[in-house]
Amino acid sequence: MQIHTKAVHVGDRKKPGSAIPTTTPITTATTFAYEKMAELDRIFGGEVPGYSYSRYDSPTVAALEELMTALEGGHSSLACASGMSALHVALLAALTDRKKSILAANAIYGATVSLLMNVLEPLGVATRFVDICDLAAIEKAAADHKPGCILMETVSNPLLRVGSVAAIAKIAKAAGAALVVDNTFASPLLVRPLELGANIVAHSVTKYLAGHGDVMGGVIVSDEPHAQTIRSISKIIGPVLGPFESYLTMRGIKTFPLRMERQCANACRVASWLASHPAVERVYFCGDTAHPDANVIRQQFPQGLYGAIVSFELKGAAQPDVFHFMDALKMIVRATSLGDVHTMMLYPVMSSHREISPKHRERMGIRENLVRLSVGIEAADDIIADLDQALTAANSQS
């Protein structure tokens, strides 16, 4: 089945009988009873499938996990309470029985940097950063430091750099490291890292997959060697997603490919328009033919689908100028997320990369005049009109 069909059907209609719910029901039970203790014993022991306690597994959550496994082409999945909890478990699983060392992309989400430096490093996990688009540098760093894990984003946040998952997977394998990929920005419609050699994929399902700004959740999809470790860690520390959030995520995923295609098309138009505006200094967009990673993008992304994030710099703007511009927006939502049906704008210095020091942000290329636009499914002309009037209003005040 193609991804559009999987998104609609996988995980649903599991109950046998004369009346089968057409969508997965919300099962809120925390515990599950059986007529015979021997059956419960086999379920606890993993000898037969079944449910015992919802920190381990439950029907609605299992349906979402089955769906995500199909979308990413993996062996199994774990649904988590947030994207960051999913990434945390993914890294713990990747480092089990390996050297406690991570080689991470130097351009990455601010909260991920905080996870590496403020949570894992004090526990003895060393992190080194590398340009994830420089294969020679990655290969040298992997050979020199022999990390247990290489961590990257399919599309970096917020400057949209794209590393070659297939090439980095080969480097990771040669070094004996696991490759963990945050695929939130690309989604499985654009890139499926496991099919390119990655070991573990993490998502914030809060974003494109659920897609309506009403779910906080994450998911890990893994290959077979890491599946049991991920499940065992989850049983102990309990980062599980609730049944209602799982249901909402499944409902959102049914239209995710359609939404994502529309958002990608809108982003192409918006990026092109921004590139010609005199108040815009620079536009970052994966569909730009002059993108520094254009060759990798052509290899990894389907033709015409380049994601729905457009970052851009306002010419000569300092923080007050950026605030004037964003305050002038009338339709575009000023909010700290992405992937919703509505277009959203975020100021990375204030939000996603707030905890990163100014010098570190400068090294990452994140300047005071940068904003990040998550393009929605509205009419592209309306998105452009709102940007135009806000840029005009901001310029009139400067």
Q: What residues are annotated to the active site?
A: 55, 109, 182, 207
Distance of alpha carbon 148 from its chain centroid, rounded?
22
372: exposed, middle or buried (C-beta count within 10 Å: 0-12, 13-18, 19+)?
buried
Q: What residues contact residue 144 under an 8 Å CB cut-off, 6+ apart? A: none
Rounded Cα–Cα distance for residues 333 and 319 (Å): 18
What is the chain's alpha carbon radius of gyration, rounded to the nearest angstrom? Answer: 22
Contact 226, 204 (CB under 8 A): no
State the DSSP H helix or E strand holding residue 166, giving kind and residue range, or none if neither.
Answer: helix 165-175
Using an 8 Å Cβ cutoff, are 219 and 68 in contact?
Answer: yes
- According to DSSP, the residues that pair with 313 across neighbouring strands are 282, 370
Residue pair 157/185 in contact by the 8 Å Cβ criterion:
yes
Nearest-angstrom CA–CA distance, 41 and 25: 26
Residue 180's φ and ψ, nearest 5 degrees, are -110, 130
